[in-house]
Amino acid sequence: MEGKVCLITGGGTGIGRAIALRLAKAGLNVIINYSRSEQEALETKSECEQLGVKAMVYKADVSNDQEVRKMMNDTINSFGRLDILVNNAGVTNIVPLEDLEGLKEEYWDRAMAINVKGVFFCSRAASEQLKVNNGCILNTASVAGMTGQGSSIAYAASKAAVISLTKSLARALAPEVRVNSLSPGMVLTRWTEGKDEPIKRFAENAPLGRAATPEDVAEVAYSFIANASFVTGQNIAIDGGMLM
């Protein structure tokens, strides 16, 4: 794995940051994409470089196909290759499931544009280079896409679409490129800050007795990338056994 190149969308914070650091620890050079969290992306870049690898930050809106294509071209021009794509960027607007009128059209548009179209645009733009290098794609979905529960109906539907898209891309890009997805449950990121009661309820009901850390998800991501050469089109829940 050492010397390979990975681009991580939404790589400056939370799960994306943890994956970037885990891959850098294994000797991979990383491109940290962001759309708004510039300072966090720069901090993640610095931490990766301290691990002895090359790192770059790149601002791009993954729902904009032209920006995505330019990001992929600039990545290849800068690093000479691209081996791994982690489609991690995601958004949500919190709307209780029963509040159908509260789920505004713009919330739907935003969730589908970034969470679904963004995965497709990035995968399409990277596909030819990934084929050359027998690379892989890893998509961050969510248990919300498996249960229909979550921060909103639109978010759950978008993550279900990511799981489906993972399977379609796995078929389309085989045999050169593997495509898999991760479905985290409750993860202790900035999205869960201040939500002590939901975190407590999750921990009480999960067989493993706690919520996940970003590092928990990053370890599974690394396993898929580095140690699962005969696995494609699969989705795995990282939820402490809640869906068991």
**Highest mean pLDDT range out of 177-191, 192-206, 209-223?**
209-223
Q: What is the pLDDT of residues 6-15, one digit of tens each?
A: 999 999 999 9
Q: Is the pLDDT of residue 204 over 90?
A: no
Which helix (H) or strand (E) segment holds residue 130: the answer is: helix 118-132
**pLDDT-derived band at 23, boundaries 50, 70, 90:** very high
pLDDT value at residue 190: 77
Q: Is 58 a catalytic residue?
A: no
Architecture of domain 5-238: 3-Layer(aba) Sandwich (3.40)
Has residue 198 got a pLDDT over 90?
no
Residue 197 or 233, more confident:
233
3-state secondary structure of 99: coil
Whether the pLDDT of residue 66 is over 90: the answer is: yes
Mean pLDDT value of segment 128-132: 98
Burial tier of 234 (Cβ tally within 10 Å: 0-12, 13-18, 19+): middle
Q: Please, how many CA atoms are within 13 Å of residue 89, restricted to the half-sphere of its CB?
A: 34
pLDDT one-digit tens code per residue, 73-98: 999 999 999 999 999 999 999 999 99
**Catalytic-labelled residue, pool 34, 107, 155, 222:** 155
- Please tell me the predicted confidence (pLDDT) of residue 124: 98
Q: Give yes or no for residue 17 having a pLDDT over 80.
A: yes
Q: Which residues contact 184 (CB under 8 A, 6 or more apart)?
A: 15, 140, 142, 143, 212, 217, 237, 238, 239
Lookup: tokens for 193? 């800050």
Domain boundaries, the chain: 5-238
